[in-house]
Structure 1
Amino acid sequence: MKFGSTESYVASDDLALAVNAAVRLERPLLVKGEPGTGKTELARQVAQALGLPLIEWHVKSTTKAQQGLYEYDAVSRLRDSQLGDTRVHEVRNYIRKGKLWQAFEAEGRVVLLIDEIDKADIEFPNDLLQELDRMEFHVYETGETVRARHRPVVIITSNNEKELPDAFLRRCFFHYIRFPDADTLAAIVRVHFPDIKDQLLTAALTRFYEIRDVPGLKKKPSTSEVLDWLRLLLAEDLAPEDLRGDSRNALPRLHGALLKNEQDVQLFERLAFMSRGQR
């Protein structure tokens, strides 16, 4: 079964092609793009479309690659030995399986999401090279080698916060999710708000793209933010006329859903002030 757009997710042709190519090549799919463009949701939709379980590994700044394989809890074993617990004689009792181990030992094929890999230390991707390439790893405490029963579909996301090593990139199929054009974004909106009126949708998206195009914007609003904004517009029952005006300069209605830092709010306030001064 091939991946494509679903009832709840609009996938561009090139994104669907990238997913299906990575599945066929049995390579990890590295997906980059602006925050909020649906990279994490992509993995969930791929799992749903292919009928496979999903295992999610959300990477943080403190995450180490070893945690994806397993962790040996030596402290608990030492404590149990002091208490005379018989569990200490079996080292397996103190090994916690990581997300890769769970994916490798699954009885069937799964989708493994490694989310926001660029948050971790620069060595994190390199530390996973062999495991993702050979689909196996060694457990030193028990002397066993864990091999994947079925090669998982691996989807790796990155917000481009730091460069990834070339050796890691060579092992991946790469796709950059471009910000959707107006027609694609309208289709995405209709998935979430099927009853939205055409005039309001057109006015809102026109306003939204004007906001994204303002020079000097520190953080451009993303797909997830325009969906939040539209949810508020519908809840407030605003009309298309409420979104118009001097759209390039004035603060947008309910701007807190779109502008996420004080610099961008101040930018719009300055533009509004300059616009008033020129009248």
Structure 2
Amino acid sequence: MPLWPVYTGTSEPHDGITRLPPPPPWRAFDGTPALASPDEGDAASPDRTHRAETYRATPQTVQLVNAALYLRRPLLVTGPPGTGKSSLVYAVARELRLGPVLRWNITSRSTLDDGLYQYDPLSRLYAARQAAGHTAEDIPETGIEDHLRLGPLGTALLPFDRPRALLIDEIDKSDLDLPNDLLNVLEEGQYEIPELVRTARRTPTAEVMIDGTDERVPVERGRVRCRAFPFVVLTSNGEREFPPAFLRRCVTLRLRQPDDGQLTAIVRAHFDEEPDAYAQTLITRFLSRVGGGDLATDQLLNAIYLARSSDLGAESLDELAEQLMPYLGETPQADAF
């Protein structure tokens, strides 16, 4: 039987992803050859594991994550800095056992090809020159696939038997063309690698390296098509608007600053105990300042950690907390001499 919700927000790992209903007919994919999804294993760094375990999803977040999973659509997460936009994908990947999160950090220079694959023709030319003068038996095999690696988006769209998790971080920092360039790839769930298409008659199957590891996977005739559409999270700080055609292909989640109850739960999760009196004072102070500008939950956690870990007096702690929680984008004031 289908399962709703698949993602519960409890951070307890389970295999509920196998009980997703079939996709809508217009979002069904049939990529081959089917690949086994990787386990997280020991690949997860302690900070990413902690981020996943301590993330606290709101009921709205749980509902929209499940909508994206059921519809096989990307999830566009917008909101102020520090509201947990990028942490969400790690929490979902851990709970649903989707393997290591693939991450693509966007800058103003990012292009679609950066996310799909990287090809280094200079290294191939160097290898060819190194082979010159050797006998045929001595020449190492250095085909195109030895100088090509799939990027995070390209890896996520491989025909894995269960979805991979992909974070496209700060899409609002991209060039104006990138959201439109993503439309076709995310809509069709496939792409081509022209360098491999050109050699497909001679080498129909190429073993290429994937993002984040030296593991190789087969790519047939230079074409990649997904089998299970990946769980794609695109984050935005709301610094720009996106084309309507892009927005209608995404499920949109708008995060707000957490309230008192949510902050208390976040602090409890990070420190594995109830906030003490001083931590509760810092939470109250943090909330009282939220309306005056952007603040990040990390700033509050830093202040609470130092209050717990140092032997500073109350007055010094208050002064330090004030310095640790400036409004984001505010220029620090220089000390006077």
TM-score range with shorter-chain normalisation?
A: 0.7 to 0.9
Which one of 131, 145, 148 corresponds to residue 84 of structure 1?
131
Match of 2:325 in 1: 258
State the Cα distance separating 1:170 from its structure 2 match: 1.1
Counterpart code for 2:151 = G
Counterpart code for 1:58 = N
Alignment of 1:127-138 (within 5 A): 127-138=181-192
Match of 1:24 in 2: 70
TM-score where L is the length of structure 1: 0.82
Match of 1:158 in 2: 236
Asked if residue 70 in structure 1 is aligned to residue 148 in structure 2, the reply is no
Shift in alpha-carbon separation, 1:89–1:11, aligned structure 2, 3 A: closer
Q: Mean Cα displacement is larger for which, 15-24 or 229-238? A: 229-238
Q: Distance in 2 between matches of 1:238 and 1:18?
A: 43
1:26-59 per-position Cα deviation (integer Å, ceiling 9, x unaligned): 1000001111111111100000111111222222
Q: Distance in 1 between matches of 2:274 and 2:315?
A: 16
Q: Distance in 2 between matches of 1:99 and 1:235?
A: 38
Counterpart code for 2:324 = A
Shift in alpha-carbon separation, 1:123–1:212, aligned structure 2, 3 A: same
Match of 2:146 in 1: 93
**Structure 1: gaps (5+ residues):** 245-250, 270-279
Match of 2:157 in 1: 104
1:179-202 per-position Cα deviation (integer Å, ceiling 9, x unaligned): 111111111111112335442233
Q: Distance in 2 between matches of 1:174 and 1:60?
A: 21
Q: Distance in 1 between matches of 2:94 and 2:297?
A: 21
- Does the 8 Å contact 1:61/1:120 carry over to 2? yes
Shift in alpha-carbon separation, 1:261–1:4, aligned structure 2, 3 A: closer
SS in 1 for 2:253: strand
- Does the 8 Å contact 1:229/1:254 carry over to 2? yes
State the Cα distance separating 1:211 from its structure 2 match: 2.5
Match of 1:188 in 2: 266
Which one of 21, 28, 39 corresponds to residue 85 of structure 2?
39
Match of 2:25 in 1: none
Match of 2:298 in 1: 224
Match of 1:208 in 2: 286
Q: Distance in 2 between matches of 1:66 and 1:209?
A: 42
Counterpart code for 2:326 = L
State the Cα distance separating 1:152 from its structure 2 match: 1.0
Alignment RMSD (CA, Å):
2.6
Match of 1:272 in 2: none
SS in 2 for 1:19: helix
- Does the 8 Å contact 1:80/1:88 carry over to 2? no
Q: Distance in 2 between matches of 1:52 and 1:256?
A: 39
Counterpart code for 2:310 = E
Asked if residue 48 in structure 1 is aligned to residue 76 in structure 2, the reply is no
**Structure 2: gaps (5+ residues):** 1-5, 12-52, 133-138, 198-221
Q: Distance in 1 between matches of 2:274 and 2:157?
A: 44
SS in 2 for 1:71: strand
State the Cα distance separating 1:90 from its structure 2 match: 2.4
Percent identity, aligned pairs only, is 36
Aligned length: 256
State the Cα distance separating 1:238 from its structure 2 match: 6.2
Shift in alpha-carbon separation, 1:157–1:262, aligned structure 2, 3 A: closer
State the Cα distance separating 1:87 from its structure 2 match: 6.0
Q: Distance in 2 between matches of 1:107 and 1:222?
A: 36
1:175-225 per-position Cα deviation (integer Å, ceiling 9, x unaligned): 0111111111111111112335442233111111222234xx4xx221111
Q: Distance in 2 between matches of 1:252 and 1:168?
A: 46
Shift in alpha-carbon separation, 1:42–1:202, aligned structure 2, 3 A: same
Q: Distance in 1 between matches of 2:257 and 2:267?
A: 14
Counterpart code for 1:66 = D
